[in-house]
Amino acid sequence: MTKPLDGVRIIDFTHVQAGPACTQLLGFYGADVIKVERPGSGDVTRSQLRDLPGADALYFTMLNGNKRSLTLDTKTPEGKEVLEAMIKTSDVLVENFGPGALDRMGFSWERIQELNPKLIMASVKGFSEGHSYEDLKVYENVAQCAGGAASTTGFWDGPPTVSAAALGDSNTGMHLAIGILTALMQRQKTGKGQKVSCSMQDAVLNLCRVKLRDQQRLDKIGYLEEYPQYPHGSFTDVVPRGGNAGGGGQPGWVLKCKGWETDPNAYIYFTIQGHAWEPITRAIGKPEWAKDPAYMTPEARQDKIFDIFKTIEEVDHKVRGKYLTIGSPIKFSDLEIEVKPSPVLGEHTDEVLRDLGYGKEDIARLHAAKAV
């Protein structure tokens, strides 16, 4: 079966999570993703949080499926020569090194354009170009704080809390994947490649769009009616942390289910949408609340919202082998996605070199120089 990205060759110069999440997604859709790693060590996640001695860690395998692995020391003259050959024959180079690493390696954007003007170069950095922090290296939680997400999670009387969901890492990779696909579409029209970049701060901020909405409303009217502080509590001049509030206009909260005393996940998220109020009153044994002016409308209910939630909680509710991973989060009607295992370090080194036109002797020379 042909796949949408068949024929698209990607130099995957990524590591840890933000970059690998992006290139794995493109691999799911058929791109030939060649992961370039330092000989001997490779991506640091191969050995991070190992659960099986000697096997690549799940951290690596779950972010690097559907790729080939080439070991290459791009700081040696021979390694640079191979990377140049790859740039000349590829469509996209994706990287998430610390700021300036590619330039120091001798592969500035200007140099890449000289080698292949059709190449799309895609980068993840912590902060965008021109930002006063553009030179900083950044990991997940810094991005969650700098992009505003941490200020929205946790409870209003506690400190900002980071989320375990990779809002800075994988989320930025997903944004970058959209950028790469857009640049590929544009290349079809212009014949030219371009530089695409997404900063982790911006990708997090993009997810906090509705909180910026709330800040502007708060600035204007001084309160936010969908937050539990309304109408009795007080607001400061910044949007309060949401706790488990709905935030989308309907009140909601996390409620206990049967077994919550021993099962840490025996909870349900419960939202009271306007039109669902009447059936909810029946389900919780309070049918009289359906017509009671003190409960009938969302505005009337707001100051009793925690009593209502309390009533609902009282209701009685009913060399690794196989590993679990997560496939494409996006589904297609005409594309079956095959999820393949991640490669061991350097598994495809000779194969990729042969693809680039290197003969037996040349390959032996590169091995002898420890460039691959």
Ligand X SMILES: CC(C)(COP(=O)(O)OP(=O)(O)OC[C@H]1O[C@@H](n2cnc3c(N)ncnc32)[C@H](O)[C@@H]1OP(=O)(O)O)[C@@H](O)C(=O)NCCC(=O)NCCS
Which residues carry out catalysis?
A: 169
In angstroms, the CA 185 to CA 86 distance is 21
Strand-pair partners of 68: 34
Per-residue string for binding with ligand X, 138-167, x by CB under 6 A? xx----------------------------
Contact present, 76 and 370 (Cβ < 8 Å) = yes
In sequence order, which residues have a C-beta less than 8 Å from that of residue 339 and are 6 or more positions away? Answer: 28, 65, 66, 325, 327, 328
Query: Which residue lies nearer to ligand X by CB, 15 or 241?
Result: 15
Q: Taking the complex as a whole, how short is the minimal distance between the CB of residue 226 and ligand X, in angstroms?
A: 33
SS3 label, residue 37: strand
Query: Which residue lies nearer to ligand X by CB, 114 or 135?
Result: 135
Judged by CB under 6 A, the residue of 18, 57, 122, 345 near ligand X is: 18
Q: Is 36 left (phi over 0), alpha (psi -120 to 50) or beta?
A: beta
Per-residue string for binding with ligand X, 104-143, x by CB under 6 A? xx------------------xxx----------xxx----
Quick one: which of 115, 93, 340 has its CA closest to 195? 93
Q: Taking the complex as a whole, how short is the minimal distance between the CB of residue 262 and ligand X, in angstroms?
A: 35
Stretch that binds ligand X, among 68-76, 225-233, 248-256, 309-317 (CB under 6 A): 68-76
Q: Taking the complex as a whole, how short is the minimal distance between the CB of residue 31 and ligand X, in angstroms?
A: 20
Q: Is 17 in the site for ligand X (CB under 6 A)?
A: yes
What is the bridge-based pairing of β-strands 267-271 and 252-256?
A: antiparallel
Q: How far is CA 198 from CA 12, 179, 195, 235, in A?
A: 16, 8, 10, 34
Q: Taking the complex as a whole, how short is the minimal distance between the CB of residue 122 and ligand X, in angstroms?
A: 12
Contact present, 179 and 189 (Cβ < 8 Å) = no
Query: Which residue lies nearer to ligand X by CB, 68 or 301?
Result: 68
Stretch that binds ligand X, among 61-69, 73-81, 189-197, 327-335 (CB under 6 A): 73-81
Binding site for ligand X (CB under 6 A): 16-19, 36-38, 72-75, 96-98, 101, 104-105, 124-126, 137-139, 169
